[in-house]
Amino acid sequence: MRKFQILLPLLLLAFLGFAQQKNISGRVTNKTSGEPLQGVSVQSKSMTVTTDSAGRFSLPATVGETITLSFVGMTTLKVKISSYGADLNLAMEQGNSGLNEVVVTGYKSEKKVDLTGAVSVVNLTNIKNNPVASPMLALQGQVPGLYIQADGSPTGANGGAPTIIIRGVNNLNGLGNTNPPLYIIDGVPTTRYEDFANLAPNSIGSIQVLKDASAASIYGSRAANGVIIVTTKDGGTSGGEKVRIQFSTSITAQTEKPWQEPVLSSHDRGVALWRAAVNDSTDPNQNSTNAIYQYDWNGNYSSPVLNKVIIAPYVGGDTLEPAASTNWQNALYKTAWITSNDLAISAGTGKSGLLIDLGYYHNSGLMQFTYYQRYNARINSHTSAFNGRLKFGENVQLSRTSQVNSTTDVGGDAVGDLALTLAPTIPLYKTDGTYGGPVGPGYSDRNNPVDMQYLNRWNTTNLFLTTGNVYAEIGILKNLVFRTNLGFDYSDGRGKVIKQIGDEGPVNSFNSLAMQESKEFTFTWSNTLNYNLIYGKSRLNLLGGVESVKDDYQTFGASNTNFAIQDVNYFQLSSGSGSQTNNGSATGYRLLSQFFKAFYSYADRYLASVTVRRDGSSRFGTNNPYGIFPAFTLGWRINNEDFFKNVKNVSNLKLRAGVGTVGNQQIGNLAAYTLYYANYGTASASFPLWLNTGTAYDINGVNTGTLPSGFVQTQKGNPNLKWESTTETNIGLDFGFFNERITGSFDYFIRNTDNILIQPPVAGAVGEGQLEWLNGASKNTKGWELIVGYHNRTPSGLGYSVTANASHWVDKITQLPEDVRAAYPGDPNHSIIGHSQFSIFGYKTDGLFQNEQELATAATQPGAGLGRIRYKDLNGDGKIDVTDQTWLGNTLPKLEYGIRVELTYKAFDLSIFGSGVAGKTGFDPVKFMNSFIDTRNNYGPGVLGAWTPQNTGSKTPALSILNRNGEDRTSDFYYVNASYFKLRSVVLSYDLPRNVASSIKMESLKIYVSGQNLLAFKSKEFLSKDPERANSFAIWPVPTSYTFGINANF
Verify binding: residue 708, other proteins, rule CB under 8 A: yes
- Rule CB under 8 A: is residue 108 a binding residue for other proteins? no
Contact window for other proteins (CB under 8 A) among 69-77, 375-383, 386-394, 541-549:
541-549
Which member of 206, 289, 406, 639 binds other proteins (CB under 8 A)? 289
**Which residues in the 19-78 window bind other proteins by CB under 8 A?**
19
Q: Give the C-alpha separation, 1022 to 924, whole Å.
A: 6
Alpha-carbon distances, residue 984 vs 140, 864, 898, 917 (angstroms)? 9, 44, 10, 13
* HEC letters along 977-1007: ECCEEEEEEEEEEEECCHHHHHHCCCCEEEE
Sign of the Cα torsion 386, 388, 392, 395 reads: positive
User: How far, in whole angstroms, is CA 971 from its chain's centroid?
Assistant: 29
Looking at the DSSP bridge assignments, the partners of residue 997 are: none
**CB of 1045: closest distance to other proteins in angstroms?**
44
> In this chain, which of 83, 302, 307, 706 binds other proteins, going by CB under 8 A?
706
Task: With H, G, I as helix, E, B as strand and everything else as coil, classify residue 43.
Answer: strand
**Which of the stretches 174-182, 847-855, 928-936, 992-1000 binds other proteins when contact is defined by CB under 8 A?**
928-936
Site for other proteins in 297-326 (CB under 8 A): 316-317
1013: left (phi over 0), alpha (psi -120 to 50) or beta: left
**Which residue in the set 240, 299, 313, 411 belongs to the binding site for other proteins (CB under 8 A)?**
411
Kindly indicate which of the ranges 330-338, 489-497, 516-524, 622-630 contains the residues binding other proteins, using the contact rule CB under 8 A. Answer: 622-630
Q: Find the binder of other proteins among 695, 831, 948, 1004 (CB under 8 A).
A: 695
Residue type, 428: L
Q: Among residues 282, 434, 814, 883, which is the contact residue for other proteins, using CB under 8 A?
A: 282
Residues 859-878 that bind other proteins (CB under 8 A): 862
Of the two residues 317 and 945, which places its CB atom closer to other proteins in the complex? 317
What is the footprint of other proteins within residues 788-807 (CB under 8 A)? none
Does 290 help bind other proteins (rule: CB under 8 A)?
yes
Closer to other proteins by Cβ: residue 628 or 1002: 628
In 3D space, the residue among 713, 714, 710 whose CA is nearest the CA of residue 695 turns out to be: 710
Q: What is the spatial distance between Cα 697 and Cα 681, in angstroms, rounded to a whole number?
A: 10
Selected from 45, 936, 994, 1025, the binder of other proteins by CB under 8 A is 936
How far apart (Å, rounded) are the C-alpha atoms in residues 873 and 843?
9
Query: Should residue 588 be labelled a site residue for other proteins when binding is judged by CB under 8 A?
Result: yes
**At a CB cut-off of 8 Å and minimum separation 6, what does 726 contact?**
170, 213, 224, 661, 662, 663, 664, 751, 752, 753, 754
Q: Which stretch binds other proteins (CB under 8 A): 278-286, 301-309, 563-571, 792-800?
A: 278-286
Q: Provide, rounded to whole angstroms, the least separation between the CB of residue 614 and other proteins.
A: 8
Angle, CA of 369, 371 and 373, to the nearest 5°: 155
642/768 with CB nearer other proteins: 768
Looking only at residues 946 through 1005 of this chain, which bind other proteins when binding is defined by CB under 8 A?
A: 961-963, 966, 969
Binders of other proteins among residues 764 to 783 (CB under 8 A) are: 764-770
Number of residues that bind other proteins (CB under 8 A): 133
Residues 881-910 that bind other proteins (CB under 8 A): 882
587 counts as binding other proteins under rule CB under 8 A: yes
- Does 670 bind other proteins (CB under 8 A)? Our answer is yes
**Is position 441 an interface residue for other proteins (rule: CB under 8 A)?**
yes
Name which position in 87, 567, 698, 877 contacts other proteins (CB under 8 A).
698
Q: Footprint of other proteins on residues 545-584 (CB under 8 A)?
A: 545-546, 548, 559, 561, 578-581, 584
Helix (H, G, I), strand (E, B) or coil at 190: strand
Residue 246: strand pairing partners: 344, 1049
On the question of a cis peptide bond just before residue 688, with omega within 30 degrees of 0, the verdict is yes
- Binding residue for other proteins, selected from 462, 669, 948, 1031, defined by CB under 8 A: 669
Please tell me the distance from the alpha carbon of residue 196 to that of residue 283, in angstroms, as a whole number: 59
Q: Which stretch binds other proteins (CB under 8 A): 223-231, 289-297, 323-331, 655-663?
A: 289-297
In whole angstroms, how close is the CB of 582 to other proteins at the nearest point? 9
Q: Which of residues 491-510 bind other proteins (CB under 8 A)?
A: 505-510
Distance separating alpha carbons of residues 609 and 600, to the nearest angstrom: 6
Do the Cβ atoms of 687 and 412 come closer than 8 Å?
A: yes
CB of 933 to other proteins, least distance (A): 10
Distance of CA 826 to the CA centre of its chain: 29
DSSP of 127-179, one letter per residue? TTT---SSHHHHTTTTSTTEEEE--SSTTSSTTSPPEEEESS--SS--SSTTS
Binds other proteins by CB under 8 A, chosen from 286, 302, 857, 950: 286
Among the listed residues 31, 242, 457, 716, the single contact to other proteins using CB under 8 A: 716
Q: CA–CA separation, 958 vs 954, rounded Å?
A: 9
Q: Which string of b and e fits 939-962 if b means at least 16 CB within 10 Å?
A: bbebbbebbbeeeeeeebbbbbbe
| Cβ nearer to other proteins, comparing 13 with 857 | 13
The smaller minimum CB distance to other proteins, of residues 636 and 673, is found at: 673
Cβ distance to other proteins smaller for residue 262 or 506: 506
CB 943 within 8 A of CB 1050: no
Of the pair 322, 584, the CB lying nearest other proteins is at 584
* Among the residue ranges 134-142, 613-621, 735-743, 909-917, the one whose residues contact other proteins (CB under 8 A): 613-621
Rounded Cα distance between 380 and 203, Å, is 9
Cα–Cα distance for residue pair 1007/989, rounded to 1 Å: 6
**Closest distance of CB 444 from other proteins, Å:** 6
Query: 348-376 as b/e, with b when 16 or more CB fall inside 10 Å?
Result: bbbbbbbbbbbbbbbbbbbbbbbbbbbbb
CB of 768 to other proteins, least distance (A): 4
